Chains A and B, each alone.
Chain A
């Protein structure tokens, strides 16, 4: 380890082969020349790592075909419209993401659920890189359904999940009892949180 330092006014431009730990002048900039990570020494006198942008957005609108739900999670396989891709890319099936960087990710999803049978009530929406939905990676909503009263419902999922390079990130859905629903609108947004 041998830090290289240049002066730029009141601050330093620095580089070395490890992450920074030493105190320095406020707003100094540091580059780890092994990982490529960039850090700034902030006003709280701590090193803050800068984040590179990686995010993607897929949407769904006016989908009217019924989706059959069971009491076990199944992958949501409705093709979506790709709205944007920066560093994260939709799979060729257009309903899940191919992850290329191992990191923590933020997932933001909503669905508009339409009642389509008298048997479906509580609906669960989760996200996962496998078939198991971890605690904290799902949310639920309820479709109130009687003969004369049909209430549509929205379900919103906000969560974080660690993904490995090569993983596929998908949405999963289930209900308390088997039956059909319709999904009329939705969004599936993913953002990388850390390098």
Chain B
């Protein structure tokens, strides 16, 4: 059942679930089961986003992380808030990002990795959600052994969209393709923003 009030030529409405009914352009509908506001445009009902975001970064890290082919290992716990966050925080001195509001979130991550690992080594960066691998990963390719003054870098981005419940966490993990080795995650920036 949709409850409705008329204001001039538009309607202010509430109901359960996603709106699919016809209404004048400019009308507002509130899905009271999911707390989502929709506005009626000429292309249909468009959801409006509420505010929840965070950006967590570190730069200039020079410490190595040991990785292997047999399992994921955590990236260093070096993240700090970059400017103001709203509804998202670092989880208690760890490398985990904790969400304080449920919803659908876009996640964008930039990483700079350098290594002087063995020829043709591949380094993976993956995303965990509540300590479980999400299958979201990307990789950097290090093509040959280099001396310490010829460090080879790789910028490895990760983009994702996740459905998040209150107090869920995400964190980055690393592993290699061919052999046990070390890498340096020199910098990392994790940005998350609520879409719905």
Contact = CB atoms under 8 A, between A and B. Distances in A.
Contacts of A160: 53, 55, 82-83, 191
Most chain B CB atoms below 10 A, which of A108, A141, A157, A195: A141
A75 interface: no
Contact of A40 (B13, B30, B112, B114): B30
Contact of B50 (A10, A40, A135): A40
B157 interface: yes
B38 to A, nearest CB: 11
A82 interface: no
A104 B52 CA distance: 12
Size class of the contact patch on chain B: 35 or more
Given A29-B37, A139-B187, A144-B150, A162 B84 contact: yes
A46 B100 CA distance: 10
Given A142-B114, A160-B82, A193 B53 contact: yes
B151 A142 contact: yes
B80 interface: yes
B6 to A, nearest CB: 12
Interface string B28-42: 101111111100000
Contacts of A144: 146, 150, 152
A193 B101 contact: no
A84 interface: no
Interface of B: 1-5, 12-15, 28, 30-37, 48-53, 55, 57, 59, 80, 82-84, 86, 101-102, 108-110, 112, 114, 146, 150-153, 155, 157, 166, 186-187, 189, 191, 193
30 contacts: A8-B14, A9-B15, A11-B14, A13-B12, A29-B28, A29-B30, A40-B36, A40-B50, A43-B35, A48-B50, A49-B51, A50-B48, A51-B51, A106-B53, A106-B55, A136-B80, A137-B82, A139-B110, A139-B112, A141-B155, A151-B152, A155-B155, A158-B55, A158-B109, A158-B157, A159-B191, A160-B53, A161-B83, A193-B86, A193-B193
